[in-house]
């Protein structure tokens, strides 16, 4: 299956957005097709988390449009937005589990709220997802008893418990060791295969991105530097992209007098 020829599930046109007077995204265009794994990358301050928040409808744009599953979310009512979100699964960076519930209760929360399945079925579904993410037996523990990596996986279990059409993953590899990270990537690929999910991943980890992405978008200070297949991105001749791929920091021109003044504290 070639996902790039499928209908789009996310369409963003000329998105301009920011916080309290500061513009973070300067006209971003983005399309994600059905069944695609789309990776958004960039350094800190590139605006990738802001972009994700806009796709989820958590933030409102200054201008531009955001359409998800055919619905324009900037003009959607709260009810429409909630209906749409029932088809989302979102895995947050730190897991975002609720401390007052057990891991199992956290993972099954969407089912309890939005489905009429009985307890037995919900229980099996919860355990199935925990097993899939190597969290078997952790059902009755509290989030405070889990390590950071486990919390992330539990958060992912919650995100996929309802087999959503759209899965969003914010920094899946951050804080995980390479083996666990690779296993997580495998799970993401399997989910897409079996459940026909469209997946959006925000990350800064290069290995992970190139391992799973159908297409990659690299943001640089709120603008799109490139959107393309991993091959296209690797061969891109934009200096910023190459710097990012090779993990080179942008070198500032050093002005000796200015530098001296800064060091000795004599700035005007």
Q: Which is nearer to other proteins, 133 or 236 (by Cβ)? A: 133
- Residue 134 CB, shortest distance to other proteins, in Å, is 11
Q: Which is nearer to other proteins, 195 or 250 (by Cβ)? A: 195
Q: Which is nearer to other proteins, 128 or 250 (by Cβ)? A: 128
Residue in 10, 15, 41, 97 binding other proteins, rule: CB under 8 A: 97
Contacts 24+ apart (CB under 8 A), 187-196: 187/132, 187/133, 187/156, 188/37, 188/212, 189/37, 191/160, 191/167, 192/35, 192/37, 195/160, 195/163, 196/34, 196/35, 196/165
Which residues inside 150-189 make contact with other proteins, applying CB under 8 A? 155, 158, 161-163, 168
Which residues inside 112-131 make contact with other proteins, applying CB under 8 A? 113-118, 120-121, 124-125, 128-129, 131
d(CA 246, CA 233): 12
- The set of residues, in sequence order, having a beta carbon less than 8 Å from that of 104 and lying 6+ positions away, is 123, 126, 127, 130, 139, 140
Candidate ranges 30-38, 90-98, 201-209, 253-261; the one touching other proteins (CB under 8 A): 90-98
Do residues 158 and 109 lie in contact, with contact meaning Cβ atoms separated by under 8 Å? Answer: yes
The number of beta carbons lying within 10 Å of the beta carbon of residue 51 is 27
Residue in 76, 109, 183, 245 binding other proteins, rule: CB under 8 A: 109
Which residues inside 44-63 make contact with other proteins, applying CB under 8 A? 53, 56-58
Q: Which is nearer to other proteins, 100 or 264 (by Cβ)? A: 100
Dihedral angle computed from the Cα positions of residues 189, 194, 197 and 198, in that order, rounded to the nearest 10 degrees: 50
Which residues sit at the interface with other proteins, rule CB under 8 A? 53, 56-58, 82-83, 85-86, 88, 90, 92-94, 96-99, 109-110, 113-118, 120-121, 124-125, 128-129, 131-132, 155, 158, 161-163, 168, 190-191, 193-196
């Amino acid at each position: 299956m070639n996902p790039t020829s499928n209908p789009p599930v996310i369409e963003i046109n000329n998105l301009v957005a920011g916080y309290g007077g500061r513009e973070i995204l300067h006209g971003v265009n983005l399309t994600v097709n059905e069944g695609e794994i789309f990776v958004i990358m960039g350094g800190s301050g590139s605006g990738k988390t802001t972009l994700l928040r806009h796709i989820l409808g958590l933030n409102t744009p200054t201008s531009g449009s955001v359409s998800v599953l055919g619905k324009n979310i900037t003009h959607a009512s709260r009810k429409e937005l909630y209906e749409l979100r029932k088809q989302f699964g979102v895995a947050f960076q730190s897991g975002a589990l609720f401390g007052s519930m057990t891991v199992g209760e956290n993972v099954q929360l969407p089912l309890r709220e939005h489905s009429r399945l009985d307890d037995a079925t919900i229980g099996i579904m919860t355990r199935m997802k925990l097993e899939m993410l190597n969290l078997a037996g952790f059902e009755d523990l509290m989030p405070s008893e889990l390590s950071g990596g486990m919390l992330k996986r539990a958060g992912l279990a919650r995100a996929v418990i309802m087999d959503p059409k759209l899965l969003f993953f914010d920094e899946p590899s951050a804080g995980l060791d390479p083996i666990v990270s690779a296993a997580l990537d495998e799970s993401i690929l399997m989910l897409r295969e079996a459940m026909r999910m469209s997946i959006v991943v925000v990350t800064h980890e290069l290995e992970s991105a190139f391992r799973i992405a159908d297409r990659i978008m690299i943001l640089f200070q709120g603008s799109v530097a490139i959107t393309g297949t991993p091959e296209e991105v690797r061969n891109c001749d934009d200096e910023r992209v190459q710097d990012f791929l090779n993990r080179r920091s942008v070198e500032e021109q050093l002005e000796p007098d200015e530098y001296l003044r800064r060091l000795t504290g004599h700035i005007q």
